[in-house]
Amino acid sequence: MHSSPVIDALHHRVSVGDLVEPAPDAAQRELLFRAALRAPDHGQLRPWRFLLVEGEARARVGQILADVEDACYGPQPEAGRNKTRQRLLRAPLVVLIVAHVTPHAKVPELEQLLSTACAVQNVLLAADALGFAGMWRTGPVTFEPLLAERLGLAQQERLLGFLYLGTPRAGRRQPPVLAVDDFVAAWREP
């Protein structure tokens, strides 16, 4: 079976949650986000934008998350608030994944969200190729309109998650080998 560095990277990429410094530097970030620009994108809308959160800003966004959880779900126990406040401290760089949805006759909102997801996957693959790792995280509060508002997103924008990026603290786990035939079959007329 033919293999290449790209195929090997695709077959072995895994999400890594235990991330430490260093995060990708400016030149490496340019490569990551240039990869995002190659995502499938019907209409060339580029329906995404990425907001970088690092340093002390991670704690500020964590505080916003805790405040929004209280507002949406009622007062949270202090232990839960502390955990939420520290969520973004799990990685040296956190990217807010924002879908910038544009009304379009031929490109529905769902297609724009899928394109954004493809852009994120390209960032993850590029990060892996550069020796970094990442994890796309969400949680119920991620999709609350109040959170989008408090983070300064525009009315037509939706927060789709938090992309944690950094250097893996330990080695990467080996992904399980799955049988392709369990997921692929010829279509048969019903």
CA distance 137 to 172: 18
Residue 113, token pair as written in the block: 């969200």
pLDDT at residue 8, rounded to an integer: 84
The continuous run of DSSP H or E covering 50 comes out as: strand 48-54
CA distance 76 to 66: 8
Q: What is the pLDDT of residues 56-65, one digit of tens each?
A: 999 999 999 9
Residue 142, token pair as written in the block: 């991620």
Residues 76-92 have a mean pLDDT of: 96
**Other residues' Cβ atoms within 10 Å of the Cβ of residue 28:** 17
Q: Please give the share of the chain, as a percent, with pLDDT higher than 90.
A: 89
- Please state the φ and ψ torsions of residue 16, each to the nearest 5 degrees: -130, 125
Q: What is the pLDDT of residues 16-62, one digit of tens each?
A: 999 999 999 999 999 999 999 999 999 999 999 999 999 999 999 99
CA distance 152 to 49: 13
Q: Is the pTM for the entire model greater than 0.75?
A: yes
Helices (H) and strands (E) in the chain — how many of each? 6, 5
Contacts of 81 (CB under 8 A, 6+ apart): 66, 69, 70
Domains and CATH numbers, the chain: 13-54+90-169 (3.40.109.10)
pLDDT at residue 69, rounded to an integer: 97
CA distance 131 to 102: 34
Residue 174 has pLDDT above 90, yes or no: no
More confident residue, 185 or 171: 185
DSSP class of residue 46? -
pLDDT at residue 1, rounded to an integer: 65
Q: What is the pLDDT of residues 101-139, one digit of tens each?
A: 999 999 999 999 999 999 999 999 999 999 999 999 999
